[in-house]
Structure 1
Amino acid sequence: MNKALLVVDVQESFRQRPLWRVISNPGIVEQVNQLVALARAEGDLVVWVLHSEPGTGNVFDPVNGHVRLQDGLAPADGEPLLTKTAHNAFTTTNLHQTLTQRGIRELSVSGIRTEQCCETTTRVASDLGYDVTFVTDATATNPIAHRDAPADQTIEELLADPRTLHSEDIIARTEYALAGRFATVRTVAELTGTQG
């Protein structure tokens, strides 16, 4: 085993936010489970990562009970479940040590949000010398408001604002930024051999 699948932040916290209703991939659990099944079948390590913001009172504060995997996801015995407090999965966890101790040099990245925790984890992993595969359709994100947009705008206002960066544009930008520089970009079907 020299490969690992990282499942980053596919947690209930995101489902509790109003933006979940415009998430790019509401069925992400299905794609992640396909990757998990493949990794387990090939004897690869699956590493589960959750994002936590203690003391904030928001949906990422563990006291509210949402810092847990979404329904339908479950670590098997021996699969690490790490909790991070930074955007990437390395800085505030022992992920690098865990992978190094097991001789892992190849990573596949999936999770929420495409351009934030998943992309940041991919960039750091690449800088640390890992060979990274970014599984785009096993990630999810939501539209991002322009920096000058009002903080209290509704989802309808967000979607109507011509300055909003929409999910499909975020995903495309992430693929362009990562491919050939920090990662190989693949789909679940390409990895599982289920493409038509």
Structure 2
Amino acid sequence: MNTSTGTALIVIDVQESFRQRPSWQAVSAPDIAGRTARLVDAARAAGDLVVWVLHSEPGSGTPFDPPSGHVRLMDGLDARDGEPVITKTSRNAFTTTNLQQLLTAAGIRHLVVCGIQTEQCCETTARLAGDLGFEVTFVTDATATFPIEHRDAPPGRGIAEILADPATLQTADIIARTEYALAGRFATLAALDDLAPAAATMR
């Protein structure tokens, strides 16, 4: 594991669990696994550490419950030897894991964040990382999210009805809000093409 650069790519929750939910058909980036793979390739080529984070909800009976078999990386993504794979039960990647200790021991001071969901696990991880003193780069177009129903919306609606509701917060608005919240405060925003040019990917 080469950590000489002092940079780590934090891949958050790019896992099969999300593909098992009805909301997947409305995801902002259906190709999130491919976008993530580009960043992983670029990180490995640069000698950066890659840290894989999975989200688990034991006992929930959902696709995030480990017995479901879906708490695993999406097809096309694989951790190499020496790349930590950690499992969290909180929205941010720090509170219920040893991520901070792992990064500190490896001499990491700069984090590149990608994954699912933009405004939840990715944004909360970036915010906490900034508060912990890490330099954070947030690759917004290498994150993915889903429409959010209004808090007063009736339960049990299908995805088509949710999308048609004018009170639903659409993915473009969610992404914009995250960028407004993070930029200049908790993170520097970056584009996937800048960090991992498509022509330069190597797998």
| TM score, norm. by length of structure 1 | 0.98
Q: How does 1:145-164 map to 2 (within 5 A)?
A: 145-164=149-168
How many residue pairs are counted as aligned between the two chains? Answer: 195
Matched, 1:190 2:194: yes
Note the residue ranges of structure 1 that are not aligned, 5 or more in a row. none
The residue that corresponds to 1:8 in the other structure is 12
Structure 1 position 166, deviation (Å) = 0.2
SS at match of 1:181: coil
Q: What are the residue-to-residue correspondences of 1:1-150 with 2, within 5 Å? A: 1=4, 2-150=6-154
Aligned partners of 2:90 and 2:120: how far apart in 1? 10
Residue type of the partner of 1:71?
D
State the Cα distance separating 1:193 from its structure 2 match: 4.5
Output the CA distance in 1 between the equivalents of 2:160 and 2:46. 44
**Residues 137-182 of structure 1: per-residue CA shift (max 9 Å, x gap):** 1100010000000121111110111100000000011001101100
Is contact 2:17–2:72 with CA below 8 Å preserved after alignment? yes
Residue matched to 1:177: 181
Distance 2:197 2:71 in 1: 33
Tell me, yes or no, if the aligned pair for 2:38 and 2:198 is still in contact at 8 Å.
Answer: no
**Amino acid across the alignment from 1:19:** S
In structure 2, C-alpha distance between the alignment counterparts of 1:92 and 1:64, rounded to whole Å: 21
Report runs of 4+ in structure 1 exceeding 6 Å deviation. none
Provide the secondary structure at the position in 2 that maps to 1:176: helix
| Deviation per residue, 1:87-109 (Å, 9 max, x gap) | 00000000000000011000000
Normalised TM-score (structure 2) = 0.94
What secondary structure, in the 3-state scheme, does the structure 1 residue paired with 2:11 have?
strand
Structure 2 segments unaligned to the other structure (5+ residues) = none
Corresponding letter in the other structure for 2:71? V
The code of the aligned residue for 2:68 comes to N
2: CA distance, partners of 1:27 / 1:157:
24
Q: Deviations over 1:121-149 (max 9, x none)?
A: 00000000000000011100010000000
Sequence identity (%): 65
Other structure's SS at 1:115 match? helix
